[in-house]
Amino acid sequence: MRKSKAETAQTRQRIVETAAKAFRRQGIAATGVAEIMATAGLTHGGFYRHFASKDQLVTEALSATEKNLVRDSLAAAEQGAAAMLDTFQDYVTQSYRDKVEDGCPLAAMGSELARADAATRHAATNSFRKIIETAAPFMRSADDAEGVDTALSLVTHMVGALTVARIVDDPALSDRILEITRQRIAGAIEGEQRA
């Protein structure tokens, strides 16, 4: 029996969501298509009805995850500087650090994304740019009138800090990395939104 277009779209979405969590938790190379399909409750053979390749799935999984980060940034921007500060500081908390599969794909898969195909890297670049554009008006810096350079520095600092906080095997050091980064965020975003 053939599935309706709505059922097919739901199945595809389930595969993408399952893959996004698995890629962040285990990495792209360590996660096989058969494992993703089994976790989604589907057969391995059904994969190619939805995707031309694993690379296509990686791109879609990344895009879906990045949309959430962009959406959160946009929602915070609409609420003002305090909401943007909270959103950025939440990124470098112990809770966010410990939930790799639900977090930022840049921090969870960055080194693999650097070696991904052009479509995947392009999707990551577009999402990153959108976050920078959204955050820039909230940045405080005497020598960066538009806030773009400060936002670039801050967001890359956040991704790096979260990554290293996950790498180190010393819990106190990991917590300190996050705390110092929250302080840097507060210094960069404090104050009123620019006109």
Residue 51 CB coordination number (10 Å): 18
* Residue whose entry in the numeric block shows the structure tokens 């693999």: 112
User: Along the 195 residues of the chain, how does pLDDT read in single tens digits?
Assistant: 567 888 889 999 999 999 999 999 999 999 999 999 999 999 998 899 999 999 999 999 998 888 888 888 899 999 999 999 999 999 999 999 999 999 999 999 999 999 999 999 999 999 899 999 999 999 987 788 789 999 999 999 999 999 999 999 999 999 999 999 999 999 998 654 443
The first and second tokens of residue 176, run together, are 């300190």
Structural domains in the chain, CATH included, are 53-189 (1.10.357.10)
Rounded distance between C-alpha atoms, residue 23 and residue 98, angstroms = 15
- Extract the runs of DSSP E, i.e. beta strands, from 89-159: none
The model's pTM: 0.86
